[in-house]
Amino acid sequence: MTARIGVLVFPGTNCEHDVVKAIGSITADEGPASCAELVWHGTKSLTHLDAVVLPGGFAHGDYLRPGAIARFSDVMGALARFAADGGPVVGICNGFQVLTEAGLLPGALQKNAGLRFVCTSVSVRVCTKRTVLTEEVEEGRALLLPVNHFEGNYTCDRATLDRLRGEDRIVFRYEQNPNGSLDDIAGVCNEAGNVVGLMPHPERSCDPLTGALDGVPLLRSLLVAAERRASLPA
């Protein structure tokens, strides 16, 4: 059964085609068990999908705060239900910001320390494989992934940080912190591990042309999770 991966598009999203193309290249190499499709933010049901990606960009222009307006798009109610039902959800960069604003992930992304827009490749350590984005990756592995953001400085209160650490929910840490992020956090997940947000862009590290292939094992994990969901009895 072919898994369907929905890539959400808000007004101002700009990485949706990169995600679709990266998933397409992985499935082309390994057999077409998954296909990715664009899903407009006005959609009110996601039940036909087996995984959802919130790609990078500037949803609703990032007005007020990144993700603050996107949180009220029609699709977000359906996304909350999809996530509560165990559906794999991954937010990349602006998508991560949307997930925190929507309350699907804890904490918030602040302006980078020093007010620097960072646009470079960073080494990111995989801290846990208990998530839909890392289940096929060895724990402790360092991945070279591009970052490209102004508001990636993860922050949360002390109690939340203690909980994230205690529940093994810090998914990625920067080896050299580019943005002032608390505890070098580059990505976190929800309690069940089916909702993951991260600032680096795995989809931009899936083609030798762009310098590295370290995003492939992450997206492959997502495809495995999506295919598992697709094979569940309806």
Active site residues: 93, 201, 203
Select the span of 67-75, 80-88, 135-143, 215-223 touching another protein (CB under 8 A).
67-75
Q: Choose between 64 and 84: whose C-beta lies nearer to another protein.
A: 64
String of contacts with another protein for each residue 9-48, x by CB under 8 A: ----------------------------------------
How many Cβ atoms from other residues are within 10 Å of residue 58's Cβ? 16
Select the span of 19-27, 45-53, 135-143, 150-158 touching another protein (CB under 8 A).
150-158
Q: If DSSP codes are grouped into helix, strand and coil, which group holds residue 156?
A: coil
The residues in 85-124 that bind another protein, with binding defined as CB under 8 A, are 100-101, 106-108, 110-115
* Binder among 40, 42, 45, 72 for another protein (CB under 8 A): 72
Which residues in the chain belong to E strands, given as ranges? 3-9, 34-40, 51-54, 89-92, 108-110, 118-126, 142-149, 153-155, 170-174, 185-189, 195-198
Instruction: Give CA separation, 158 vs 107, 163, 169, 233, in Å.
Output: 10, 9, 14, 41
Which residue's entry shows tokens 């598992």?
Answer: 228
The residues in 151-210 that bind another protein, with binding defined as CB under 8 A, are 153, 155-157, 180
Residues forming beta bridges with residue 180, ordered by sequence position: none
